Amino acid sequence: MRILGKIAYWLVALTLVSAILVSLDYSLAQAVLISLIFGPCALLLEFLIPKAQKPMEKVYLSLAVLSAVILLILCLHTLVWSRITAQGYLNQGKDVAPMLINPIFLGLILTALSIGDYFWAKWLGKRFQARERTVTFFSERRSVTLRLADIAYVESNDTEVRLVTASGETYRNKTGIGQWENLLGEDFLRIHRSYLVNAAQARLLSADAVTVGETELPVSRKYKETVQRILSERQ
């Protein structure tokens, strides 16, 4: 899903850049070709800038990427389109629009694309982290690997812990519920000394209970306020 999300971002972003170029009197085909220059250069800028140790290194890298964009745009106009026009595939060529050799304009587009991609990737990582993460443990002397998103809740008793999945499967384990709470992370919510639930699957039933699927689980006084606040925000 992260890959599909990244592809969707760049399709939308480059479509918007193409629309801007069309407003500069480029044909749709020309606008699309030019917009394809911005994608790799914005990704290069996003990759290189964090690696720079000194402020001036960031400046030099930014100028280098900006110069590369201008050079590629000029090459596209003078070498590619002039040759295509000469062979009769286009009725006329296209002079370089002044905005496309304006460093400020180009810098704004590159910066917007890079920052947008960074925050989109960060959101995707947070959104799909639990779905992609897995946990491996031993249950009844065999190794089991489960996706965190498939675990509905964890139940502890005096001698063992049970992991119950959304599909109703149960796995027994000797690891304490406190250790499971640390292992599963913030996507799981402690509601009772004996219960840890997948917050994405839990629903408030009352002040003293939640449901996970069709199972009703108690909420202890110690965790009541936190459970109500977190689950209310999610519902």
Question: Could you write out the DSSP letters of every residue in 99-123?
Answer: GGG-HHHHHHHHHHHHHHHHHHHHH
Fold of 133-234: OB fold (Dihydrolipoamide Acetyltransferase, E2P) (2.40.50)
- The label of the residue with tokens 């002079």 reads 95
* Three-state secondary structure of 158-180: CCCEEEEECCCCEEEECCCHHHH
Domain extents in the chain: 2-131, 133-234
In the numeric block, which tokens belong to residue 88? 């009769």
The sign of the CA dihedral 189, 191, 193, 198 is: negative
Written as tens digits, the pLDDT of the chain (235 aa) is 677 888 899 999 999 999 999 998 888 888 898 999 999 999 888 888 887 778 888 899 899 999 999 999 888 877 766 555 544 444 445 678 888 889 999 999 999 999 999 888 878 776 666 556 888 999 988 999 998 889 999 999 878 999 999 999 999 998 999 899 988 988 899 999 999 999 989 999 888 899 998 999 999 999 999 998 888 876 6
- Rounded to whole angstroms, the Cα distance separating 194 from 211 reads 15
**Which contacts (CB < 8 Å, 24+ apart) does range 175-183 have?**
175/137, 180/154, 183/135
Phi/psi at 187 (5° precision): -75, -10
Q: Alpha carbon 157 to chain centroid distance?
A: 38
